[in-house]
Amino acid sequence: MATIDFNAEVEKRKDALMEDLFTLLRINSAEDKAHADAENPFGPGPRKALDAFLAIAQRDGYDTKNYDNYAGHFVYENGAANDAETLAIIGHLDVVPAGSGWDSDPFNPEIRNGNLYARGASDDKGPTMACYYGLKILKELDVKLSKKIRFIVGTNEETGWADMDYYFEHCELALPEFGFSPDAEFPIINGEKGNITEYLHFSGKNDGEVLLQSFTAGLAENMVPESATAVIVGAKGLTEQLDSFIEEYQDKGLRYDLVEDGATATITLYGKAAHGAMPEKGVNGATYLAHFLDRYNFNGGAAAFLRVASERLLEDHEGKKLGVAYVDDLMGNTSMNAGVWSFDASNGGTIALNFRFPQGNSPERMQTILQAIEGVEQVTLSAHVHTPHYVPMEDPLVSTLIHVYEKHTGLKGYETIIGGGTFGRLLKRGVAYGAMFEGEPDSMHQANEMKPVENLFKAAVIYAEAIYELAK
């Protein structure tokens, strides 16, 4: 057929793409365990987002299938033989919690100065919809393909991947061997570190001069906690001490709230949120609050909880102070995010450490080292672990995607290995491909998450041609 002008085809569909994307962005699809049930396995929001996406696909003529509100898919096979290979595209419709600090309603998308602001604009509703429109162009142009396309969307990528566990267990179709996830950055992510959360457990013994009633922080294990709140009894001179502490760390932009009621004080310390795969880009409010409190005379499990945080976690994003750091020549270093914290005087405390680890390191190695730390009673592991994943540059999938990227950007492609985990790793030859461009601000998992609108359209152009080249 004649050469397709993918730029012109996206131009014709800009308004429609944005309209469909806004439909998804208006849905708060963060996991809601409190309202999860058999019909809403991750809460009503993720289920609504799945329903909305599948309704869009049905409108466009696809035969969709919903796998019990965990995940859904449709298959497009215009001309492909029955035994043809299948190219998988896997996105996700869930988001991390909005958190605080937004300049606009995170679920009422706004375009300001050419940027689309909304939770999910960049991770991952925007890229998923850009990719969907890339395939939509091929469908509407009736382009004949030699491979089938299976477009899969999940609803639990941010907090456990139980959606994909369920999908692959219940899907009647064979698992595709190759494909990509539009859930990272260009030019390509062809390597991903392993991912495991290790939980440090502390006792609740709490009989010092100052008592720690509670300590809470973190919305998700893969987010740097923006803030942390502690309730303590018996501390004096808090305002003076906090002001001095803020001054000492003025380069971190910390601030605090303090409410005192007799001998009881509630302190909230604010830092800066960031994606847990890049903890160095945030300011972990929990580690700084623990460091501040460690100056007081706590005892027992409360003292251990604060001491480990202050001495071993503060300003260390690789686990060096814990002794678990490990570097591989190909995949780089181990990264660590202290993502979710809890302590109460009755039940003790837990700190969830989310590790992104290269080949050569292992969850078991780190667990053994962590168990030996003074004050840590026990270390348990999350049920799900992702092992390191790598697809070499010479693989035709990778080389094709790199070529399309270079054609439309004029930039040289290169391989990238990340600490973040994407659905690309679910496939034997799976990668992540876009939609964040070089030089684009990374606002994923942060307040005021945004995506430059023109970059969304540019990504749709790249996705359209990439799908065409892989499946023509």
**Cβ pair 416, 185 in contact under 8 A:** yes
Instruction: Tell me which residue has tokens 């750091």.
Output: 325
Handedness of CA 402, 403, 407, 410 (dihedral sign): positive
Annotated active-site residue 94? The verdict is yes
Contacts of 244 (CB under 8 A, 6+ apart): none
Annotated active-site residue 157? The verdict is yes
Q: Considering the candidates 9, 20, 31, 94, report the single residue annotated as catalytic.
A: 94
Q: Considering the candidates 9, 31, 123, 157, report the single residue annotated as catalytic.
A: 157
Contacts of 89 (CB under 8 A, 6+ apart): 131, 135, 149, 150, 151, 152, 179, 180, 181, 182, 467
Cα separation, 363 vs 196, in Å, equals 7
Specify burial of residue 360 (Cβ count, 10 A radius: 0-12, 13-18, 19+): middle
Which helix (DSSP H) or strand (DSSP E) does residue 319 occupy? none
Could you tell me the CA-to-CA distances from 150 to 20, 86, 129, 220 in Å, in that order? 20, 7, 15, 30
Which helix (DSSP H) or strand (DSSP E) does residue 243 occupy? helix 238-248
For 72, the 3-state DSSP assignment is strand
Q: Which residues are catalytic?
A: 94, 157
